[in-house]
Structure 1
Amino acid sequence: MTRLLFVCGRNRWRSPTAEAVFARYEGIETQSAGVGKDAETPVSAEAIEWADLILVMEPGHKEKLTRDFGALLRSKRVVVLGIPDEYRFMQPELIALLEERVGRILGLPDAR
């Protein structure tokens, strides 16, 4: 089982979409969180420890994680997906981007 933690700013649109999309894949467990003070689900030490791979939407999210959880991230792989904050929850264009980029990282056979 591969555990994926998806992170965006407020945990309202991008990371919850990624969590929902990849939870459907066999052999993958997902969680999502946000780095902002007003995040629906703030990133926690427990979530970082739980994750096998941390996927953030923007470089600034990785910077905030490193600042706040640097010691915990030493043994973790953190990947920046490069997905801007211009999509709504479960928007088809967002789903397509996520499937392409995360699929490529995970080596999924149907990755675009």
Structure 2
Amino acid sequence: MQRILFVCTGNTCRSPMAEAILRHKKIVGMEVRSAGIYAAHGSEASAHAKQVLDDNKVVHNHRSTLLTNQEVDWADLILTMTSSHKFAIQQQYPHSTAKVFTLKEYTGEPFDHDVIDPYGGSLAQYKETFNQLDKLIEKAIGKINS
């Protein structure tokens, strides 16, 4: 069983969308969760994130989770939305360093390892982030399965 954890800041936009996208692909032998470095426990995904997931027929039912040692230890692979998330996790959980990557870094993107943060933005910005995440997750699946 491969366990993937997506991490962003508040666990209401990018990481819940990434979690829902990967879960939607129904890959046998893969579990997925998401968490936020500064998440308030139990918040719903943002309205625009839910709208974009609905528009793309991606089932979701999200409540935010604060990143803790339990989530870090659960994961085989931790994929962050930004370099600052990656470095924060590596500093707080030094035992996790070898399994923490930005999503873009993991998929081989050569520059700018940060996924666009749509927080507070328009529905169009959330759609752009969703499309970026969907493409990156497809690449990540290919790497995981190879």
TM-score (norm 1): 0.77
Larger Rg: 2
Distance of aligned partners of 1:36 and 1:19 in 2 relative to their CA distance in 1, 3 Å threshold: same
1:50-103 Cα shifts (integer Å, max 9, x gaps):
111110110000111122212x315x41111231213538x6414423334423
Corresponding residue pairs, total: 106
1:106 equivalent in structure 2: 144
> Which ranges of structure 2 fall in alignment gaps of 5 or more residues?
42-63, 104-112, 119-124
Match of 1:59 among 77, 80, 83: 83
TM-score (norm 2): 0.61
> Which ranges of structure 1 fall in alignment gaps of 5 or more residues?
none
- The structure with the greater share of residues assigned to strand is 1
**Paired-residue identity, %:** 31
1:27 equivalent in structure 2: 29
Distance of aligned partners of 1:94 and 1:67 in 2 relative to their CA distance in 1, 3 Å threshold: same
SS at match of 2:27: coil
- The structure with the greater share of residues assigned to helix is 2
2:102 equivalent in structure 1: 80
The one-letter code sitting in structure 1 at the alignment partner of 2:88 is: K
SS at match of 2:126: coil
Partners of 1:14 and 1:94 within 8 A in 2: no
